[in-house]
Amino acid sequence: MSPPVGLARLRSLIEPHWRRLYNFVFRLTLDRDRAERYLIDIFAVATEHIDEAPAHDTEVWLLGLANRILEERLPRQPEVDFDVLDETLRGEATRTDVVRSLSDPQRDFLLWELKQGCMTAVINCLPPGERAAFVVCHILKLPDEPAARSLGIS
């Protein structure tokens, strides 16, 4: 027995985009549990509005739904700012000679983790609207016009 037409359509809309949608939601919430809960809510809204889904540009449409939900739920101001980040980076915790003793693969992995952590820390210092714009343009690498449409801005 095949799934109902609406479920099959929803699956066809979401399946190609859910990973990037999760990445967007996670980068804005910076919390895996909250990102997963919000993603379920986004899919529920997508289900309610499935008749409005475009035949193409579904990723932009889904990102737009996600952005509207996140705008309602996220605090207007970031939880930390660049001064706190700067103080942390210059603090004692970041001064260590341990890195010199690591093998090349370990150093490469540590460097990759450091880059991801720094990106997350910088993003966390941005207000939600700026964070959303940064994520869709620089992490998801959407061109400017679809990125702006997904965020409902010019």
C-beta of residue 147 within 8 angstroms of C-beta of residue 136: yes
Q: Which two tokens stand for residue 2?
A: 């095949």
Region 119-133: mean pLDDT is 84
What are residue 54's phi and psi, to 5 degrees?
A: -70, 155
The burial of 66, by beta-carbon neighbours within 10 Å (0-12 exposed, 13-18 middle, 19 or more buried), is given as buried
Gyration radius of the chain's alpha carbons: 19
User: Is the same domain home to 145 and 111?
Assistant: no
Across 9-18, average pLDDT? 87
Same domain, 66 and 85: no
Domain count, the chain: 2
DSSP of 123-152, one letter per residue? HHTS-HHHHHHHIIIIIS---HHHHHHHHT
Q: How many CB atoms lie within 10 A of CB 87?
A: 9
Is residue 110 domain-shared with residue 84, that is, in the same domain? yes
119 and 135, same domain (yes or no): no
Max avg pLDDT among 75-79, 82-86, 95-99, 126-130: 126-130
65 and 91 fall within a common domain: no
Q: Are residues 93 and 132 in the same domain?
A: no
Look at 93 and 118; give whichever has higher pLDDT: 118
Per-residue pLDDT, averaged over 37-43, amounts to 95
pLDDT value of position 95? 52
Examine the domain organization and report whether 31 and 95 are in the same domain.
Answer: no
Q: Which residues contact 62 (CB under 8 A, 6 or more apart)?
A: 13, 14, 17, 21, 42, 46
**The overall pTM is greater than 0.75:** no
pLDDT tens profile 44-91: 999 899 889 888 889 999 999 999 999 999 888 776 666 766 676 666
And the tokens for 3? 């799934």
Q: Which of 150, 141, 153 is nearest to 57 (CA)?
A: 150
What pLDDT score does 21 carry? 96
Same domain for 72 and 135?
Answer: yes
pLDDT at site 24: 95
pLDDT digits (tens, 9 = 90+) for 105-117: 776 777 677 777 7
Task: Please check whether residues 70 and 145 belong to one and the same domain.
Answer: yes
Look up the domain containing 87 and give its range: 79-125
Query: Is the domain of 93 the same as that of 153?
Result: no
At residue 37 the predicted structure's pLDDT band, cuts being 50, 70 and 90, is very high
Q: Outline where the chain has alpha helix (H).
A: 5-14, 18-29, 32-48, 58-73, 82-89, 104-124, 128-134, 144-151
